[in-house]
């Protein structure tokens, strides 16, 4: 559940897709879309997450902490949190954007989550953001750490494949859907010309990691 905002305009802005301003009946009271708040929220989220990890894992080296942080602030984790908070259902957008799956778009959900963080920071300050993240995002790290989901799956998969005396995995973009500012990529990873995994993400790099993770899971199941 979202905290109660003192300045409701900030929350309305965080939940407003740019397409909402193309229709007079979208319901938004905002004067601009969420992008600027997302820009702010991205920085606030990174700082809050970095500080939490730094204090919680005092003996871990910088490289591991960086991997931990990446796993918490990546698109899929933020989108999952946004779904739990029902941010997609609360967004203001055009009927056209909604018809094409805008309310369920993982990239958009992650962006709006960051925008909400930015709005909360402006409305109530950094401590309120930390409290919100402790309630809704940071608890997810227990499962991430337990299952080692913070690993660089692409590098690890390459090591596994090379240990089997097989050629280096090749990554190919199978599909790219959406406008330039909000594309979702599907990437296949191939070994010896055979698809061993597939993944999606807001960037090619994220999709490659997802594909490598699926390939690793299949590899481990087949052993």
Domains annotated for the chain, with CATH where assigned, are 8-146 (1.10.1520.10), 153-222 (3.30.160.20)
Distance (Å) of CA 163 to CA 86, 114, 160, 167, 169: 44, 40, 5, 10, 12
Residue 134: what pLDDT? 98
Q: What is the pTM of this model?
A: 0.71
Bridge partners of 188, per DSSP, are 172, 198
Catalytic residue among 38, 97, 111, 114: 114
pLDDT values of the chain reduced to their tens digit, one per residue, 223 residues: 899 999 999 999 999 999 999 887 778 888 899 999 999 999 999 999 999 999 999 998 887 788 789 889 988 899 999 999 999 999 999 999 999 999 999 999 999 999 999 999 999 999 999 999 999 999 999 988 887 777 778 887 888 888 888 999 999 999 999 988 788 999 999 999 999 999 998 888 889 989 998 998 888 777 6
Starting from the edge strand earliest in sequence, which strands make up the sheet with 184-191, in order?
170-177, 184-191, 194-201
Residue 60 is classified by DSSP as S
Catalytic residue among 42, 97, 111, 123: 42
Clarify whether 123 is annotated catalytic.
Answer: no
Q: Judge whether 95 and 19 are in contact, CB under 8 Å.
A: no
- CB neighbours of 11 closer than 8 A, spacing ≥ 6? 2, 5, 116, 119, 123
CA dihedral 56, 81, 154, 181 (to 10 degrees): -120
Alpha helices in the chain (DSSP H): 8-14, 35-56, 62-73, 75-84, 87-90, 95-99, 106-124, 126-136, 141-146, 153-163, 204-222
- CB neighbours of 87 closer than 8 A, spacing ≥ 6? 15, 109, 112, 113, 116
Clarify whether 180 is annotated catalytic.
Answer: no
Residue 198: what pLDDT? 97
Residue 223: what pLDDT? 61
Rounded-to-integer distance, Cα 41 and Cα 14, Å: 10
């Amino acid at each position: 559940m979202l905290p109660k905002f003192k300045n409701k305009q900030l929350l309305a802005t965080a939940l407003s897709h740019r397409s909402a301003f193309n229709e007079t009946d979208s319901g938004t009271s905002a004067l601009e879309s969420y992008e600027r708040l997302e820009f702010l929220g991205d920085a606030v989220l990174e700082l809050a997450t970095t500080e939490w990890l730094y204090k919680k894992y005092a003996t871990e080296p910088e490289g591991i902490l960086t991997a931990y942080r990446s796993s918490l602030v990546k698109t899929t984790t933020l989108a999952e949190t946004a779904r739990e908070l029902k941010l997609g259902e609360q967004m203001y957008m055009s009927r056209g954007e909604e018809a094409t799956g805008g309310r369920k778009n993982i990239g958009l959900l992650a962006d709006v989550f960051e925008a909400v963080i930015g709005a909360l920071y402006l409305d109530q300050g950094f401590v309120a953001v930390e409290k919100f993240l402790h309630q809704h995002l940071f608890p997810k790290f227990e499962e991430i750490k337990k299952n080692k989901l913070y690993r660089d799956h692409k590098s690890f998969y390459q090591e596994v494949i090379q240990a089997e005396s097989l050629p280096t995995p090749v990554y190919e973009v199978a599909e790219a859907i959406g406008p330039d500012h909000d594309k979702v990529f599907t990437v296949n990873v191939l070994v010896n010309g055979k698809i061993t995994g597939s993944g999606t993400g807001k960037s090619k790099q994220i999709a490659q990691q997802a594909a490598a993770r699926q390939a690793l899971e299949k590899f481990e199941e087949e052993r």
